[in-house]
Structure 1
Amino acid sequence: MWGRGDLRRPAATIGLLITVGVSGGLLVFLMTQGLEKSIQWLSVAAGVLGVATAAQWPVRRMVVWLQPGEPRPPPDLADTAELLARRLDRQWRREDQWREGGDALALPVRWEVTREAEFAMTGVRWGDLGSADSAVEPRLLAGQYQTIHETFTQRLPARRLVVLGRAGGGKSSLARRLARELLDHRSPGDRVPVFLSLASWGPEEALGAWVSQQLVRDHAMLGKQTPDRIEGSPVPLARSLVEDDRLLFVLDGFDEIPQASRAEALRGIKEIGARVPVVVTSRTDEYRQAVEDFGRGLPRAAAVELSPVDAPAVKSYLREYTALIPPDRWDEVFTLLDRADGNAVARALRVPLMIWLARLVYERRDRDPAELADPVAFADPTAVEHHLLDRMVTAAYRRPGRRSGPETVHRARRWLSFLARWLEADGTKDLEWWRLHGADPSAAARLTTGLPVGLAAGVPAGFITGTFYGPWAGIAAGAALTALATARAFACAWQPFGGRLPGPLLGRSIALATGFGTGLPLVLQGHLPVGVAQGTCVGMLAGLAAGFVVHEGPGAPTRVTVAIRGNRLAILRRLVTGLLVGVVFGAVLGLALGLVDGPTTGMVFAVLSVAMGFALGIVDGLRVWIDKPTDLRGSVSPRTVLRDDRTAALVRALVAGPLVAAATALTTAFAYGPRTGLALGGAMAFAYATTDRMVGVASTSWGRFTLVRAWLALRRQLPWHLMGFLDDAYDRGILRRSGAVHQFRHARLQQRLAAGPSGSAA
């Protein structure tokens, strides 16, 4: 490694070479001008130096103000953990408001260590689960809903638990309840319970890294960089929380991991360490098979299996949470529950999810639960389950005090079914609005959403090119750029180039090469204003076109925070870097053109180069200001993420638009007049602000979402105001929120809506 002195020697050498080169170039330049002109140039230089000397004090004061001062201390992990706990508490309280005491968790769900649970503990000794002061035995782990916190914290010293059960048996609800009570009873400094769905985890990725990504997605504040305590390199706060053992993982839906990956998933959970508290939920058969494939259970993890709910508990629950008038409305169903013949209704209503759905569907007195007693319509438990799942949407959208009616229910069911089919096809629970473009991968959808982007780029390009070279050239250029921009809806960026050379740098290189290749011949022929105008415009159009080939654009939502003082040094560095690039490039180009075509040409291109370099520095500097994580105390939800990305997109467009417009208008006005300059500047600004892969609105997550949503709304597959519909579905209990994404209330509901009801669900 170089020391500080070693760094100074190359810097001094480079500085000396630049000084010698610039001085030699100026000397050669002055020798070509003759005595009289040389004196004039030296007078101008003296004036510039005088102005620079007079401006030295205010410039120094500005630099002092721009210095960041004392660096901000890195966020304290203990404070961050407490903030995360408060945010989770607020989020879960909002969830509790919807339940209003009628959740399936109010059922007396019971569990015990069954033979299947013991098989899931293959290789785990009971002595490993306890401590010297507290032994663990199977009988001590038997319990029910009200004792889950006590069982986990007082009867399992290792705090490692696997919850097994059948589909809809209440595993997820029980795990959520445990996470909620752990949060309610935690003291400052205790681990923060985080509830995560394993459906989106690929076991080829380390579990800790995946948890960090999920936390950043759901809580953008945890994406803030902080120095690692051991390595010192900057890492997200989420990763620091994971590695500093400040979290307790509640991992739901192990069975939703693809079967071929479940054994590897067990290995991944095992690798976080036997001393790390963890809760895992899974269907019994899927977890048993994973243990068999892996060869053993999770070290120091007890396993329990949920039991079916008995008939007295079901009847008590339905009486308490549904209408009591008329008094005999449940009699026929209760008779079936008391029978021991294994009828369809009794078998279906032993699962907490189905019992909760029966409460939701028949809580109002105008709904008659006696229809469930029809032996023909409900000949098996599956028919009962499908009936209740189909009626759930109807019940949710016909609640008193809300907009309801047959047409409202019909539209809601159609839109929810479309979303459910998309998620099922994608193999996920997370409804992420910024991935909506994957909901309809058809060629017609891509063409319809890509064509507006192509036209937004091609029409201005055709207008600008036609002004210079005639209508046929304009039509050809506009059609070519329209086709290129539209094609981006069907393909990714050119990765082989993008991997070796960053897309923005390659695009700018193409723009500069094309611009000078177009303008220089005209300049050398004596047409300076025309050459500058055409070179600038054609180069910028070439850069815009290159962006569709080499630059992918933002892949995820971004945010903007107005925090200049905290980023002053970073912004200043980018401004100075851009200015220096322009100065160096302008000095070389200006000297070369001055020797060939006279000092006027050299000065024009030198000033133009400096201006372009400074403009690039402004854009780069403002990107530091724009693309920042949300403030540590900000809240995150799907709607706020959308709003933040929209704001960032518009700010980028407002930054790029005026810069591009000014460059185009100024360079073309001298050759073609101010009116043409303004028209061409407006056209170029529109093209860049709308479609550029770095700053254009259409290339952002919000822009893609807006285009795809419009296409799907025209096809009546989704509403025009999609976020409002999702929020309403959340309020009605059809969806839930997990940080920045929506999810269906239960996986069975998502699966049923994706399949579509077999009959009317009015």
Structure 2
Amino acid sequence: MTEPGGSDSVSGNSFHGPTAFQAGDHNTQSIHHHTTHITPAATGAADPLDAVADELARVVGAQWQEEAGLRRLLEPTPLPVRWRVSERKVAGRVGGATAEGAARARFVPLPGLGPTTRGQLRDGGGLPELHAVYGGLASGRLLVVGPPAAGKTAAVVLLLLDALAHRAARIAPADRSRVPVPVLLSLDGWNPGEDTATDWAADRLTRAYTLFHGRGGRARARQLLEQGRISLFLDGLDEVTGRLRGAMVSALETAPFRLVLVSRAREAVLTAKKARLGGALAVEIQPVGAADAAGYLLNRLPSTPSPAWRELAGRLVAETGPLAAALAGPLAIALLRDVYGDDDPVDELLDTARFPTPSAVENHLLDHAVAAAYTRRPGHPRPRYSARTAERTLRYVAARLTREGTRDLRWWHIPGWTGHRPRLIAVWTVCTVVCGTPGVLMARSLDPSLLVVVLGALAAIGGGYEISRRVAELNVAQPLSSAGRRDIFTRRTILSGVGQWLLVGTMLDLLVPLLSDPAPPWWLWYLVTLPLGFSEVLVTGRGYEIVSGAPVLSLGSGRRYDKVRESYVRPSVVDTRSVGPLEVWRHHIGLRLFLGLLTGFALALYIGPILAWTRSPLLGAMFGLTAFVWTGATSCLAGNLAVATSLTAVQLHHEEGTPVRLVHFLEDARRRNLLRATGPVYQFRHARLQERLARDR
């Protein structure tokens, strides 16, 4: 293993608590609930990091086992992965990667594996050989390249699962700490000019896995990286701009952990002209052989396939042509399997008049991919959406992303997809009626004159407009930022809030009797000052945005918030899981609504009891209700990206015919292998699918 390296400083990081589904465009995607005690005593490990690494391996394995299942990489029999050392000018000499001769190896072979030699690399191989290269490469730098739709990411996912299986079952437990845990991340969003590779990776791990939330979570992630106990599988190099690609490659040269870097071959060649990953070995994924493709397709069919399938398989092996060329890539093979059933006329693809080129075959399969995904299959539940609705929605989404020049579907950018005026009017109307009515009734009870009632109504209209205006501001793309309840209600913030509450309550209890006679009872002061303690908790923690704009409670909000706060006290029990887009959206909906309503209740409690004591219980109750609905609406709606996304989804349903529950539809499309997810971001399963769906919009 390498010596620990990198800076010990923490820069540009915001801590995210155990339920914080924050920010960052590329967290991991599946969610697996498991409650684990991360303590040396519980595991018998001498080093606390051993338990953390083992738990990370469990979560990563569950995550990518599920994802591989969704992508159908494991069943029936996987397509074989073939690779050879690339002859493209994307890396240095092979000897620099294997360190044969006098060169000094940067990484020793993993337990159970031998050093990688030139002889091993000469003939290439399959997945077992690729894992042997990954674990025995002296430089610890592996570059996986290939043309579009060659199956690079699929190969890397299977390599990751092989690496986890080797760590779990093929070596002695005493040697397990010397085998790094492979973690697959996307490179998009990293700026090497601001963060080192270790800083960026540690930050991404804290966002991706709740295992690294809590006290010292980021520090644990950083330790694992610096000690080489995590290996990074980095995808998406070809999807960032050319200048950033070169900077990333240069920054990764000094990373203290093993690397597997994935890129399309063309972009890898262009990047190598500016910067090369020192010591990297470049392997290229080979086209799928005709016999392998035919065998893979026939494995899912009955023992006696239909004549159409038999003819296709036979012609595929015996002849060359557009179909054979198209099925040299895993994408087309997977689409063919999805689109055509056991008794469908699959032999129509052999008609070279209809399908004269490989692109024509692939386009035909892409055109039917959505309908096939939403066709009911025996033994499976009925699709929640019709094929027509699904295709209309995905075409709209694809066209929108294509116009924006991106592959990333960030759900918090959806409010910018359509005009905000209908949402502004709807929120304005609802808030004016629902929130304004209690206030008008309260004003009328104080003074029944027409002027007071009119002023109350105008105030309601103005308040409703202000809330709707703040919701409409989210029409402009916003950064995704949030916090979990344990980031807000920490021991430090709670103690600060209790101290504020007791101090103000005691001062009022002592001073008011000196100035007023008769004075309210002592317990009333402690009751009405509870909201100040609650406000102090939000202001000193990460909840200051919740009270932003709330009268009295928002004073000083955010002034004392430390953006890099790693010393929060957390329980020793961690709910270990990985985080995906739907979970991020639900978090924003649930936590923000809960805290918004709690803020409204706090303001109602602040003045309502005093009015009830000094004037009348009815007046106090009416004021409390008015304060609750207005402050609750402001805190729940203004700045809540998830609510803005939901409102936009309703608007898009009427304008474009998309589902009302748009985020749930996107998750359903992911589970049907039309989309994939990296953290809170969705993408189409392949760029060609997005391009094809967007062509008619």
After TM superposition, the score normalised by the length of structure 2 is: 0.74
Larger radius of gyration: 1
- Rate the CA distance shift 1:678–1:282 in 2: closer, same or farther, 3 A: same
Q: Could you say which residue in structure 2 is the equivalent of 1:92?
A: 64
**Could you tell me how far apart the structure 2 residues matched to 1:135 and 1:658 are?**
66
**In the alignment, is residue 121 of structure 1 matched against residue 44 of structure 2?**
no
Work out which of the residue numbers 192, 199, 213 in structure 1 matches 2:188: 199
Q: Could you say which residue in structure 1 is the equivalent of 2:669?
A: 729
**In the alignment, is residue 447 of structure 1 matched against residue 447 of structure 2?**
no
**Could you tell me how far apart the structure 2 residues matched to 1:128 and 1:309 are?**
27
Q: Could you say which residue in structure 1 is the equivalent of 2:209?
A: 219
For residues 418-567 of structure 1, the aligned pairs below 5 Å read 418-424=396-402, 431-433=409-411, 435=412, 437-438=414-415, 440-444=417-421, 447=424, 451=428, 455=432, 470-491=452-473, 555-560=480-485, 567=490
Q: Could you say which residue in structure 2 is the equivalent of 1:353?
A: 331
Q: Could you say which residue in structure 1 is the equivalent of 2:628?
A: 685
Work out which of the residue numbers 573, 590, 598 in structure 1 matches 2:496: 573
Q: Could you say which residue in structure 2 is the equivalent of 1:182?
A: 163
1:80 Cα shift? 1.9
Q: Could you say which residue in structure 2 is the equivalent of 1:541?
A: none
**Could you tell me how far apart the structure 2 residues matched to 1:384 and 1:670 are?**
79
**Could you tell me how far apart the structure 2 residues matched to 1:201 and 1:422 are?**
24
Contact 1:110 1:309 in 2 (8 A): yes
Q: Which moved more, 1:680-689 or 1:615-624?
A: 615-624
Note the alpha carbon deviations across 1:633-687, whole angstroms, 9 max, x for none: 2434444444444443344245334332233433434666332332221121111
Note the alpha carbon deviations across 1:142-167, whole angstroms, 9 max, x for none: 42333344442455233311011100
Q: Could you say which residue in structure 2 is the equivalent of 1:288?
A: 269
**In the alignment, is residue 383 of structure 1 matched against residue 342 of structure 2?**
no
Contact 1:454 1:484 in 2 (8 A): no
Contact 1:113 1:138 in 2 (8 A): no
For residues 59-74 of structure 1, the aligned pairs below 5 Å read none
Contact 2:423 2:651 in 1 (8 A): no
Gap runs ≥5 in structure 2:
1-40, 102-113, 169-175, 544-567
Work out which of the residue numbers 130, 142, 148 in structure 2 matches 1:167: 148
Bigger relative contact order, structure 1 or 2 (CA pairs below 8 A, ≥6 apart): 2
Q: Could you say which residue in structure 2 is the equivalent of 1:137?
A: 118
Task: Please give the root-mean-square deviation of Cα atoms over the aligned residues, in Å.
Answer: 4.2
Note the alpha carbon deviations across 1:163-216, whole angstroms, 9 max, x for none: 111000011111111111111111532211111122343444423333334323
**Could you tell me how far apart the structure 1 residues matched to 2:308 and 2:523 are?**
91
- Rate the CA distance shift 1:705–1:632 in 2: closer, same or farther, 3 A: farther
Partner SS, residue 274 of structure 2: helix
**Could you tell me how far apart the structure 1 residues matched to 2:331 and 2:186 are?**
18
Partner SS, residue 308 of structure 1: coil
Letter in 2 for 1:268: A
**Could you tell me how far apart the structure 1 residues matched to 2:509 and 2:403 are?**
55
Richer in helix (by share): 1
**Could you tell me how far apart the structure 1 residues matched to 2:182 and 2:384 are?**
42
Contact 1:559 1:645 in 2 (8 A): no
Note the alpha carbon deviations across 1:3-36, whole angstroms, 9 max, x for none: xxxxxxxxxxxxxxxxxxxxxxxxxxxxxxxxxx
1:474 Cα shift? 1.9
Gap runs ≥5 in structure 1:
1-71, 228-234, 494-551, 758-762
Letter in 1 for 2:685: R
Q: Could you say which residue in structure 1 is the equivalent of 2:685?
A: 745
- Rate the CA distance shift 1:457–1:262 in 2: closer, same or farther, 3 A: farther
**Could you tell me how far apart the structure 2 residues matched to 1:702 and 1:114 are?**
46
Partner SS, residue 272 of structure 1: coil
Work out which of the residue numbers 663, 666, 677 in structure 1 matches 2:609: 666
**Could you tell me how far apart the structure 2 residues matched to 1:667 and 1:374 are?**
84
Contact 2:130 2:159 in 1 (8 A): yes
Letter in 2 for 1:201: W
**Could you tell me how far apart the structure 2 residues matched to 1:316 and 1:698 are?**
57
State percent identity of aligned pairs: 27
Q: Which moved more, 1:473-482 or 1:133-142?
A: 133-142
Contact 1:344 1:381 in 2 (8 A): yes
**Could you tell me how far apart the structure 2 residues matched to 1:585 and 1:264 are?**
60
1:279 Cα shift? 0.5
1:139 Cα shift? 6.3
After TM superposition, the score normalised by the length of structure 1 is: 0.68
Contact 2:471 2:638 in 1 (8 A): no
- Rate the CA distance shift 1:305–1:463 in 2: closer, same or farther, 3 A: farther
Q: Could you say which residue in structure 2 is the equivalent of 1:269?
A: 252
Work out which of the residue numbers 695, 708, 718 in structure 1 matches 2:658: 718
Partner SS, residue 202 of structure 2: helix
Letter in 2 for 1:137: R
**Could you tell me how far apart the structure 2 residues matched to 1:265 and 1:625 are?**
34
**Could you tell me how far apart the structure 1 residues matched to 2:48 and 2:680 are?**
24
Partner SS, residue 194 of structure 1: strand
Q: Could you say which residue in structure 1 is the equivalent of 2:20?
A: none
Contact 1:333 1:369 in 2 (8 A): no
Q: Could you say which residue in structure 1 is the equivalent of 2:347?
A: 370
